Each structure stands twice: as C-alpha cells, then as structure tokens.
C-alpha cells in the first residue's frame, strides 16, 4: 500500500516497532500502538504526536486474545485500518549451556505465534469486509532453518513466515496485501541481550525504512540485509546432512 492513513502496530515501545511508529507518524495519519511497557510506550506516543500524528496507545499483552480482539475492533471503529503490523516478539535472550527452558519455549511460542494470530485474525475480519488493506507479519531470517542455539525462537519465526506467505496467496483475490518481513540482527531489546557475534548488525531506524519501502511496493518477502538473507536462504535450501554440519559450527549463545 502506497500511503496508508490508519496504522496499527504491536510491540511499538522499542526496536523495530518503535522505529516503524516514528517513521510513519505524520500529520494526517492515525496510529494505534500497543506494547506491554507503559513508560516506553508513552514516550513513543508523545514523539509520534510531536510529528503531527493522531495517536491512540494502549498497554496490552498480545497473548491476551480477548483484549487484543477488543482493541483491534475498537481501533477499526475509530479509523478503518489500512495497515496492520504484527511486530511484537520475544526471544530467550543469550541463554546458557542448558538452552531454552520449557517455560521460555512456551512463552516464545505464545508471544511470537499466538500474538501474531491474536493480531492478524481480528484484523482480517475487518479488512475482508472492506476487501482492502494490508497486513505485515514480522518473522526473522532465523525462520529459514531451525537453529540449534534458538530452537523455540527460530521455530516460532518459521511458523510466522510460512503462515504469512500462505495468507498472502489466500487473501490476494480479496484485495488484501500480506507481507512477511524477515530481518537480520536489528538493534532492539532482544539483540541487546545477545553475547554472540551479530554480522551486519543494523540500527532500527534503517530497518524501518527498508520495511516501509517494501510494504509500499507490496513485496511478498522483505528480507535484509542481503548477505545475511542470502546465507539464511542458502542454509534453508541445503540438504539436512550439510546444514547439520554448518549449523553446529555457529557461535553458541553466551559464548
């Protein structure tokens, strides 16, 4: 979509969500933002208002299905949604030799997959009635192949990627655009915890510009940076016996 007027973004208090909120905020736009951290969300809300946007911010947990549905329906009543960005996500952090715990695994899937479902499914109901609109889901280059150092994170992002790509084909005949965003390492509260090498590390404002450009062109997959995207794609396409060797040589979390 070239010029969305009414935009909803989850996980808007930091990282890519914050950067996208600030990128899109301008006079004539209505922004609906949610996050769990009230202090950071209020700060983003104020900065968006200073840029001229009308802003409605709400403290929400994306795993709360009923609250998310109510918020999205209420937002759409205020201003019919043009663009919905399901961005909220978590990881297990740097971890340790024991790997992701059971609690971390369940939490990661609940937020990264359940949170996307709780955002997209209610939004779809409204967009399909109008036969217009755009949905972006934030996956990751980690979703191209299961990573031994982050099974739950890479698994959850793989699910989001596959579901988003399937939705794109399903909803296109109804006039709804669906885009899957697969970033590499971007400055965020997730990556700031990492204690391992992060090649081609990128600031969030630069990532937001790349994402917004891809959305304006309705690109099916928005992947970046190119060297890491190509390496991730190649690893995903490798036969298992080769990928197993490559992936076991990657730096371990906490190393």
The set of catalytic residues is 153
Residue found under tokens 């794609």: 233
Q: Residue 254: phi, psi to the nearest 5?
A: 80, 0
Q: Are 118 and 60 in contact (CB under 8 A)?
A: no
Q: Give the integer Cα–Cα distance in Å for 160 and 141.
A: 11
Q: Could you please report the per-residue DSSP string of 185-231?
A: SBSSTTGGG--S--TT-B-HHHHHHHHHHHHHTT-SEEEESHHHHHH
Q: How far apart are the first and last CA of the chain?
A: 42
CB under 8 Å to 62, separation ≥6 — which residues?
10, 11, 34, 68, 88, 111, 114, 115, 116, 118, 119
Q: How far is CA 161 from the centre of its chain?
A: 10
**Do the strands 176-183 and 83-86 form a parallel or antiparallel pair, or are they unpaired?**
unpaired
């Amino acid at each position: 979509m070239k010029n969305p007027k009414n935009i909803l973004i989850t996980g808007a208090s930091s990282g890519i969500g914050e950067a996208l909120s600030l990128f899109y905020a301008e006079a004539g736009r209505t922004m609906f933002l949610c996050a769990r951290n009230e202090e950071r969300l209020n700060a983003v809300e104020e900065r968006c208002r200073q840029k001229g946007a009308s802003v409605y911010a709400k403290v929400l947990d994306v795993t709360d299905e009923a609250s998310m549905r109510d918020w999205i329906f209420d937002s759409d009543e205020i201003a019919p949604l043009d663009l919905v960005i399901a961005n909220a996500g978590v990881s297990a952090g740097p971890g340790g030799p024991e790997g992701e715990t059971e609690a971390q695994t369940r939490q990661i899937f609940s937020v990264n997959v359940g949170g996307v479902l709780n955002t997209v499914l209610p939004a779809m109901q409204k967009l399909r009635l109008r036969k217009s609109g755009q949905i972006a889901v934030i996956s990751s280059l980690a979703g191209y192949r299961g990573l031994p150092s982050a099974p739950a994170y890479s698994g959850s992002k793989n699910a989001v990627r596959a579901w988003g790509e399937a939705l794109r084909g399903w909803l296109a005949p109804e006039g709804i655009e669906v885009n899957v965003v697969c970033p590499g390492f971007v400055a965020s509260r997730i990556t700031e915890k990492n204690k391992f090498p992060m090649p081609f590390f990128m600031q969030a404002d630069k990532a937001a510009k790349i994402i917004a450009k891809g959305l304006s062109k309705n690109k099916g997959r928005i992947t970046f940076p190119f060297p890491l995207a190509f390496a991730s794609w190649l690893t995903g396409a490798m036969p298992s016996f080769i990928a197993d060797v490559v992936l076991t040589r990657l730096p371990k979390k906490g190393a």
